[in-house]
Amino acid sequence: MAWRLRLAPEKTSFDFFRFQWLTFGGSMLLMVAAFVAWGVMGLNFGIDFKGGTTIRTESAQPVDVGAYRAALEGLPLGDVAITEVFDPSFGPEQNVAMVRIAALDATEAVTPETIAAVEEALRTIDPAMTFPSVESVGPKVSGELVWGSIIAVALTSAAVLAYIWMRFEWQFALGGVLALLHDVFITIGIFALFQIKFDLTIIAGLLTILGYSINDTVVVFDRLRENLQKYKTMPLRDVMNLSVNETLSRTLMTSVTTLIAVGVMMVFGGDVIRGFCFSIFMGVILGTYSSVYVAKNIVLMIGLDRSEKPKNKGTPDEFANVDA
């Protein structure tokens, strides 16, 4: 037999329910913690959701946040936040900072005069400073973007719920979607905890997690469905364990290849996209975990009505053709 890299031994028979109280309970605890972090610390919303202006500055001189702040002191601006940006791809002459200015006006984005004044003030520090990007969003639009994002997450969850319900059974759909929300909310909690900028691309990241994480869950469910047919008398808990064990190698393989790709993008993809990649990275880890430890636990708790199956024998079984 040729050598093969194995992420899981060839045949496993782990009892994934053995430490249920720790894994599932831990998950629930983490979710509560995520909500607490979210509620207490709040999210570090970007201008997409809060309105305001961000100006990216680039200078050959090292960034001195204090000097930047002092330069902008006299201007009639709202709250100003200045953060230095680091990236391994920056050269020694490349010192980047983000200047974020809170919105003042109720609807409009910003006046060109304000931006010109800010740029002029910053150029007193380094006359050669450049401004590779200037973005400005009015509070009116940002309010709508918040709603749009909430609707997007809700719609996606509903669509996935409907699809799994259609293809499997409602207990599976509920388990799958609850596992999804677990992944999304814990990721949001992490963003709150570390105060990472939360903008529109993060929402795209969260939606991607919804799509990806259900992927893993569906593969486990698919095998569970097949095994339920095969071992009609085996207790549900054991069928579940068998299914997870059988798909374990695949689950790990796929998660690892995805993590490799997203991890590489996170490191080398530049600072503009880092938050987005981070959200997907976290989502993949949580998604893998939740498809093994959360989704099926919920199905087990609700319980499946397996007694009905023999009655249906005469009619075409709903699982009969899915393998084709």
Partner 1 sequence: MQYTPMMTAPAWKKALIWALVAAGLVLSVPNLFYGRVEAHNDAALAVEAAGFATEEQQAALDLWPTWMPSGLVNLGLDLRGGAHLLAEVQVSDVYKARMDSWWPEVRDALRDVRDQVGSVRRQPTQVPYELRVQIENPAGMAAGVEAVRALSSNIVTLTGVGQTDIDVTAEGDVLIVQLSEAEREAVDLRTIQQSLEIIRTRVDQAGTREPTIQRQGADRILIQVPGIGSAAELKALIGTTAKLTFNPVVRRGTNEDRTPGAGNISLPSLDEEGVWYTVEEVPVVSGDDLTNAKGDFDQNGRPAVAFQFDARGARAFGDYTAQNIGAPFAIVLDGKVISAPVIQSHIPGGSGIITGNFTVEEANRLAVLLSAGALPASMTFLEERTIGPELGQDSIDAGRVAAVIAMAAVSVFMIASYGLFGVFAVVSLGLNMAMIFGILSAIGGTLTLPGIAGIVLIIGMAVDANVLVFERIREELKNAKSAARAIEIGYERALSAIVDANLTTLITSAVLFTMGAGPVRGFAVTLAIGIVTSVFTALFVTRQMVETWYGLRKPSTVIV
Closest distance to partner 1 from the beta carbon of 27 (Å): 21
Contact residue for partner 1 among 35, 38, 45, 131 (CB under 8 A): 131
Which distant-in-sequence residues (6+ apart) come within 8 Å of 222 by Cβ?
none
Residues 262, 93: Cα–Cα separation, whole Å: 28
Which of 12, 130, 195, 312 lies at the binding interface for partner 1 (CB under 8 A)?
A: 130
- 42 CB burial (10 A radius; 0-12, 13-18, 19+): exposed
Query: According to the binding rule CB under 8 A, does residue 135 interact with partner 1?
Result: yes
323 binds partner 1 (CB under 8 A): yes
Looking at residue 32, what DSSP letter applies? H
Residue 138 in contact with partner 1, rule: CB under 8 A? yes
Q: Binding of partner 1 at residue 116 (CB under 8 A)?
A: yes
| 320, containing H or E segment | none
Residue ranges in the chain assigned as alpha helix (H): 20-41, 47-50, 65-72, 112-123, 139-167, 170-193, 200-230, 236-268, 274-293, 295-302, 308-311
Q: How far is the CB of 311 from partner 1 (least distance, A)?
A: 24
Amino acid present at 46: G
Taking the complex as a whole, the smallest distance from the CB of residue 163 to partner 1 amounts, in Å, to 6
Residues from 162 through 191 that contact partner 1 (CB under 8 A): 163-164, 167
- Any idea which residue has 């329910």 for tokens? 17
| Residue 115 or 300 having the CB closest to partner 1 | 115
> Which one-letter DSSP state was computed for residue 85?
E
Say whether residue 228 binds partner 1 (CB under 8 A).
Answer: no
Decide: is 261 part of the binding site for partner 1 (CB under 8 A): yes
Q: Does 249 bind partner 1 (CB under 8 A)?
A: yes
Number of Cβ within a 10 Å radius of residue 303: 9
- In angstroms, the CA 171 to CA 175 distance is 6
- Which range of residues in 181-189, 190-198, 243-251, 309-317 is near partner 1 by CB under 8 A? 243-251
Q: Which positions from 1 through 20 interact with partner 1, judged by CB under 8 A?
A: 1-2, 4-7
Q: Residue from 56, 123, 237, 309 that binds partner 1 (CB under 8 A)?
A: 56
Any contact of residue 294 with partner 1 (CB under 8 A)? Answer: no
By the rule CB under 8 A, 231 interacts with partner 1: no
Q: Residue 6 or residue 232: which is nearer to partner 1 going by CB?
A: 6
